[in-house]
Amino acid sequence: MDEIKKLKEKIDAARLPTGVQDKVNEILAEMELNPANIQQYSRYIEWFLLLPWAASSKDILDLTYAKEKLDEFHYGLEDIKERVLEYISVLGLQKERGSVSLSRAPIFLFSGLVGTGKTTMAESIAAALNREFVRIPFGGLGDPYYLRGRSRFSPEADPGAILKALTVAKTNNPVILLDEIDRIADDAFNTIMGTLVELLDPEQNNRFVDHYLDYPFDLSQVIFCATCNNTNRLATAVLDRLEPLQMPSYNDQEKTIIGQKHLLPKVLKESGLNSQDLIIAESVWPSIIRPLGFDAGVRTLKRNLETIARKSALLIFSKKVNGAITVDESNIKQFLSG
């Protein structure tokens, strides 16, 4: 059949590792004996072809470059950045000295209030190492099969979130963020925590088996990170495999620096503006930072800057102003309204 012929050509082009190739050949033989289920078999084989069995990104093990990337994403947080640099140093030394067994990456758990930079810290680790980054959200998760998928013989057959993340990354050594792992629904809590124990255990995750694929995938090269608002709801066995790092709240001075040096340039670029289009007076930054009271993170600050930028873009695009827009104490309420 033409479909089987095309699939064989894809398999030959994929150059799969020996064990994986044997498994795919086994499925092909079953397919030829059961042509009525060709679509089911075809989809199953396609997942073997999609997974990055041997595709790895090359790490950049340069402390100067890594520090630049970490500073680009975050202001301050020197203790946490130091831990990341320590791990990069270990990898670099092992590579220089030809170590046979490379160090397992610590599994960082970034814990803190909303908006304190937990997710972007994981992104910055990926950028510092030149690895792909994939986020897996856990907020409100109630499906116990979410991570490990459902059997290909099930009516709802589908791979789990881990395999899907790998196909997005297209490498077998990405940084995968398990985001908000403390927000799992009660009815899925025990199953998901049990899966996390295996997933985060370096003695087990080199043969992680997804229920759909039913074939082990080596996750030992993946750098896992996780986030939570607090650790009280996490299973003890999961916590034992994590290295908790507390993300501190920002004070007003730190938020001003973050807003001026990090957030504002990004918001201007996203809004089609530049630094000559919009000038924010020093005196109004306190109003932008906390218009309604204390906020531990910088999400309110970012939203307010986005609001100011959008209103400025409207004035410029509608030709209602010529030259730069200055936001100061005389008009700040106008720019923050709505």
Residues 109-155 pLDDT 10s:
999 888 888 999 999 999 999 999 999 999 888 888 999 999 999 98
pLDDT of res. 293: 56
Q: 309 with 271: CB under 8 angstroms? A: yes
In words, the CATH class of domain 252-336 is: mainly alpha
Q: Is the pLDDT of residue 251 over 60?
A: yes
pLDDT value of position 141: 85
* 252-336 and 63-246 share a CATH fold: no
CA gap 46, 167 in Å, rounded: 11
Domain 63-246 has CATH 3.20.20.70: no
- For the stretch 162-176, pLDDT in tens is 999 999 999 999 999
Of the candidates 321, 259, 323, the one whose C-alpha atom is nearest the C-alpha of residue 287 is 259
Q: Measuring CA to CA, how many Å separate 182 from each of 161, 175, 186, 232?
A: 17, 20, 11, 8
Q: What is the residue extent of each domain of the chain?
A: 2-50, 63-246, 252-336
Token pair 């059997």: residue: 151
**Is it the case that residue 100 has pLDDT exceeding 60?**
no
